[in-house]
Amino acid sequence: MLNVIRPTVAVAWYVTFAAHALHRWPEHRPRLRDGDPAFAEAFAQEVRRFYPFAPYVGGRAVQDLTWRGEPVPEGTMILLDVYGQHHDEARWKRPYSFRPERFLDAGVGRDDLIPQGGGDPHTGHRCPGEAVTVGLLRELAVRLARLRYSVPPQDLRIPLRRIPTLPRSGFVMAVARQSGG
């Protein structure tokens, strides 16, 4: 049961971030509404890069090892700095700007974008649901861009102390009643 609920809720949180992005940068709406699949994919990837969903992923070293010259004894808790990786100026141009186009201009390496863990999912613990997540987010972002709604006053600040985090008010929409049918 939890294996169904947890990923479903996680994808819904990304859709909330997609709504937040469309509200803050409405210039992306027409291109998404047109359903350009390459742009929809780029938009989904930029939501996963830009927003601070899980800021880090943790694990324990199962044996003594050395990482880039640093000895790591067995049992050490290691945190993968996901947010830092996604906002590293050495990898991303203007990392604090929301620009889906960055994913159209250049491809990403396997371990550049790691909101669902890094490495190879076949041999490690990287999320095996990543392709499903991107596919759902891509489709739902296009639907969102096509939906007619207004955004009532609310608190859309995103607290960085909460893990995982969301806009304080969630994202409340007033959806226009569809005529006919």
Nearer to ligand HEM, 39 or 53 (CB): 53
Alpha helices in the chain (DSSP H): 2-24, 29-33, 37-50, 82-86, 102-105, 130-146
Listed residue (126, 47, 139) closest to 86, CA to CA: 47
Per-residue x/- mask for ligand HEM, residues 19 to 48, rule CB under 6 A? ------------------------------
Least distance from ligand HEM to the Cβ atom of residue 17, Å = 10
Q: Which residue is nearest to ligand HEM (CB)?
A: 129
Least distance from ligand HEM to the Cβ atom of residue 21, Å = 15
Per-residue x/- mask for ligand HEM, residues 98 to 117, rule CB under 6 A? -----------------xxx
Nearer to ligand HEM, 63 or 178 (CB): 63
Q: Is 11 in the site for ligand HEM (CB under 6 A)?
A: yes
Listed residue (13, 27, 34, 33) closest to 116, CA to CA: 13
Between CA 110 and CA 87 the distance in angstroms is: 16
- Of 28-36, 51-59, 68-76, 149-157, the window that binds ligand HEM (rule: CB under 6 A) is 51-59
Q: Are 14 and 137 in contact (CB under 8 A)?
A: yes
- Of 30-38, 50-58, 61-69, 150-158, the window that binds ligand HEM (rule: CB under 6 A) is 50-58
- Of 35-43, 61-69, 125-133, 145-153, the window that binds ligand HEM (rule: CB under 6 A) is 125-133
- The separation between CA 26 and the C-alpha centre of its own chain, rounded to angstroms, equals 18
Least distance from ligand HEM to the Cβ atom of residue 126, Å = 5
Q: Are 45 and 108 in contact (CB under 8 A)?
A: yes
Listed residue (79, 145, 149, 146) closest to 117, CA to CA: 79
Between CA 79 and CA 58 the distance in angstroms is: 4
Name the residues that contact ligand HEM, by CB under 6 A.
7, 10-11, 14, 53-54, 57, 59, 115-117, 125-129, 132-133
